[in-house]
Structure 1
Amino acid sequence: MNSDLTEEEMRRALFGTPQPEEQVPAPLVTEPVEEVVLAKSVVAPTVNKKAAKAFRPRLRVTLRVGNEFEGKMTELIHEADTLSSLLAEQEAVKAARKKYKYVDVVSVKSM
């Protein structure tokens, strides 16, 4: 192999011959721009339409919570906006721990 190739010859070998791009000069337009000022903006009457709600994945986490060890437990339902049952469970337990000392996850169901 010949190692005495110039940079330009190497470029031609790798990428082929460059196609000349046609350069069209842009016409210079120096027309004065008229300033348009609206006297009063026109506002279309708004119609109260309920937008279609996009699908949001939701999971319902059912917890049994209480403040006494082996005492009275109440059922708490937490709704999480996620598809991951693990994240929904963690989010529900974290929210329940703010108010209750003992938290037990009963179920995680999709809505």
Structure 2
Amino acid sequence: MNPQLTEEEMRRALFGAPQPEEQVSAPLVDKPVQEVVLAKPVVAPAAKKKAAKAFTPRLRVTLRVGNEFEGKMTELIHEADTLSSLLAEQDAVKVARKKYKYVEVVSVKSM
């Protein structure tokens, strides 16, 4: 090998001979194609079927309420739409406090 290689000769040895750039021609323009839109056939609306209601969890909270201290107490039943007994109890007490001064929770049962 020749120790006195020029830069151009080194490039040719490493990368090969330079290839001529390809000429890119502009794409041929075709006639515009008309768009075809397919229309859906008109169908008479069918009677809507009511979906079966999904199961909603319910808890029944039984409260003893009254407005007199150590007086007459009445029993009140509140139904809550939740699985959490704590939330059902809090909701029932909140509703009962609007009308009664003294509220005592007796039980929380699922329905």
Other-structure match for 2:55: 55
Identity of aligned residues (%): 76
Other-structure match for 1:21: none
Other-structure match for 2:34: 32
Kindly state the Cα deviation for residue 51 of structure 1 after the two structures are TM-superposed: 2.4
Stretches of 4+ moved more than 2 A in 1? 30-38
Q: Following the alignment from structure 2 to structure 1, what is the Cα–Cα distance between the partners of residues 107 and 38?
A: 64
Q: TM-score, normalised by structure 2?
A: 0.60
Q: Which runs of 5+ in 2 are unaligned?
A: 1-31
Q: Which runs of 5+ in 1 are unaligned?
A: 1-29
Q: Following the alignment from structure 1 to structure 2, what is the Cα–Cα distance between the partners of residues 46 and 31?
A: 41
Kindly state the Cα deviation for residue 42 of structure 1 after the two structures are TM-superposed: 4.5
Larger-Rg structure: 2
Residue identity in the other structure for 2:92: A
Residue identity in the other structure for 1:54: A
Other-structure match for 1:107: 107
RMSD value over aligned CA atoms? 2.4
Q: Following the alignment from structure 1 to structure 2, what is the Cα–Cα distance between the partners of residues 31 and 91?
A: 66
Q: TM-score, normalised by structure 1?
A: 0.60
Kindly state the Cα deviation for residue 45 of structure 1 after the two structures are TM-superposed: 3.6
Q: Does 1:46 align with 2:53?
A: no
